[in-house]
Amino acid sequence: MTDEPVTVAVVELKVEPTYLQLSREARFEHWTRLQEIIRGHPGVEVVWHDADAISGDCSDFVICRFRTLFDYHCMWEEIKDGPLFSTPYFHITRVLIGMENAFVAYDEAIGI
């Protein structure tokens, strides 16, 4: 049997006007701190996407790949403890979670 499939979360975010009112230098400081937090959770692969020029529903979305839900949870707890969410500068609008090709692992588990 193969390993448990990788889990993927797509986290949709909406930026608040208070964040956009910050200088670009202040936003860069927040981005730098966010990257430090993400690096502190090596069990979660994170790719951040800017979407506000394309989508009216969210301003950003983040794709997270992980094997352990608790690793993912801990990373977001640390992020939410910081100023990006506590000020708030961003809020989460929706989260989609799925497993990459889980049907393949299931078929292998039942001998197909």
- Quick one: how far is CA 50 from the chain centroid? 12
pLDDT given for residue 2 in this prediction:
56
Is this model's pTM higher than 0.75 or not? yes
Into which CATH architecture does domain 7-109 fall?
2-Layer Sandwich (3.30)
What average pLDDT does this structure show over 42-57?
A: 89
Cα gap 48→60, rounded to integer Å: 7
Write out the H or E segment, with its range, that includes residue 29. Answer: helix 24-39
Q: Is 99 helix (H, G, I), strand (E, B) or coil?
A: strand
Cα–Cα distance between 62 and 83 in angstroms, integer? 18
Tell me what pLDDT residue 4 has. Answer: 84
Q: Which residue has the higher pLDDT, 56 or 2?
A: 56
